[in-house]
Amino acid sequence: MKIVILDDVTITPAQEKRLRQQGEVVIFTGVPTRPEEILTRAEGAQVLIASWTKINAQILESLPHLQLISIWATGYDNVDVEAATRLGIRIAHVPGYATEAVAELCFGLMLAVVRKILPADRDVRHEKQLNWNRFQGMELKGKVLGLLGTGAIGARVAEIAYAFGMKLIAYDLVPRRGLAESFQIQYFPLPEVLRESDILSLHLPLAPPTKDFFSAKEFAQMKPSAIFINTARQAIVEQDALLGALESGQIAAAGLDDIDLSQESGRRLLELDQVVFTPHIGFHTAEAIAQKTDICFENVIRFIRGNPVNIVNAG
């Protein structure tokens, strides 16, 4: 079994040793961008491990031995799933590895916004004195937190918010009764969640039905004092609509872990003082990365042994 790590994957010596016990392993670094470079790296592979490389139908059709692509990520939109399925190539992904990391960053962004931590830090450094009267903040206790999505990450955010003494409301296609009972969450239709939330936190996966899910229509239903937190993928939100909502005062502020800087709206968002940004680091803790690689490699091992897990297509 030839296993090729196609691009940048973080691996410990122990993880590499375990993978090499499964067959011939070839490891590449850097992200190939030209099709011929991808094909050269992947030549003869029965298993590909990849995260950043875009693998289209033409590339898949040129890899006759390929049986499995194990994605070093939760999202698998870099691979043409339809073509892989047609060709009998299975795709595995890594669900749930960064639940704690993303949930904690969600509150990092939330606290940075409501307590004005970034501008306060800049003021202390610049002024060399403690101008506390410039930075009146807001407490989380008693505020209404609206959760869009109550999967693993949304559930962990609910648990933390409950400890903060926040009031919890949520929208989900499949409400979780046990979660609602544990943390006193009330599920409502989306318009009501938008209307009642002091802080709205987005926890939906990126998939065709959720692309541009949050649009100008949704922002228009929020309170002018509301704060929007997104630790999910940028493409779930219409970025132009988010910019418009912030510039017009339809909403008060935002904390964003992902923006599209190739769009003019992304560059204009950077000019807004009421927005706190992080560079898509929700998943990026030492603990989460180690777990991510463990699960990704376990997907390969289980596939080779004939009992595949975390498969996203029929193959």
pLDDT 10s digits, 140-155: 999 999 999 999 999 9
Q: Is 311 buried (19+), middle (13-18) or exposed (0-12) by CB count in 10 A?
A: middle
**Whether residue 107 is found in the same domain as residue 82:** no
Identify whether residues 205 and 86 lie together within a single domain. no
What are the pLDDT digits (tens) for 261-299?
999 999 999 999 999 999 999 999 999 999 999 999 999
- Chain Cα centroid distance, residue 225: 25
Q: Which domain holds residue 74?
A: 2-97+286-304
Q: Are residues 171 and 236 in the same domain?
A: yes
pLDDT band at residue 315, thresholds of 50, 70 and 90? low
Residues 314 and 196: their CA atoms lie apart, in Å, by 41
Q: What pTM does this model have?
A: 0.89
- Residue 145 is assigned to a structural domain of this protein: yes
Q: Do residue 105 and residue 208 come from a single domain?
A: yes
* pLDDT (mean) for 70-77: 92
Token pair recorded at residue 243? 């910019």
Joined tokens for residue 113: 């916004």
**Residue 84 neighbours by CB under 8 Å, 6+ apart:** 60, 69, 90, 91, 313, 315
Contact between residue 27 and residue 6 where contact means Cβ atoms under 8 Å apart: no
Q: Verify that 156 and 253 share a domain, yes or no.
A: yes
Alpha carbons 74 and 289: distance in angstroms, whole number: 12
pLDDT digits over 11-36, tens only?
999 999 999 999 999 999 999 989 99
